[in-house]
Amino acid sequence: MHKFITTAVLTLAASAAVAGTLEVTVQNIEKDGIMHIGVYENETVFENDRARPQDKPAKYGVIEEVKVNDEGTATFTVKVPDGVYAVGIYNDENRNEKLDTNFFGIPKEQYGFSNNPKVLGIPKFEQSAFEVKGDTKTTVVLK
């Protein structure tokens, strides 16, 4: 059984030369949907999206189809310069371009962040931040 997910990936416009590839493996994907993926290069950008979790994290980006294997995982890559980043992802299962929540604000669709922080709600940048130096891999487990 092979599923496909369309992925919105934030591409980073930076003055520094592209130094490597960030490879993100997304695990625990339970349903087909559109995967909205934000790659945040600083706390300000992350915090601005943190205040509006219902919005798509990537205002600019490329649409890419990612194959999801039988184990419910998918991998995407993005070229980024060396630096500190955080990744935020949600699976838009009903394709309405927002993270659906219940009356209490608890997500009804799967989501996750880099470093897989064990927090209630949206983590702070420093809880999800990691260093990218050359080719770097990270894994996000959806909740």
User: What is the rounded distance in angstroms from the CA atom of residue 24 to the CA atom of residue 125?
Assistant: 17
- The domain spans of the chain are 3-141
Close Cβ partners of 103 (under 8 Å, ≥ 6 residues apart): none
pLDDT tens-digit map of 112-128: 999 999 988 789 999 99
Mean pLDDT of the chain: 77
pLDDT, position 134: 92
Q: Which of 104, 105, 125, 102 is nearest to 113 (CA)?
A: 125
Close Cβ partners of 126 (under 8 Å, ≥ 6 residues apart): 43
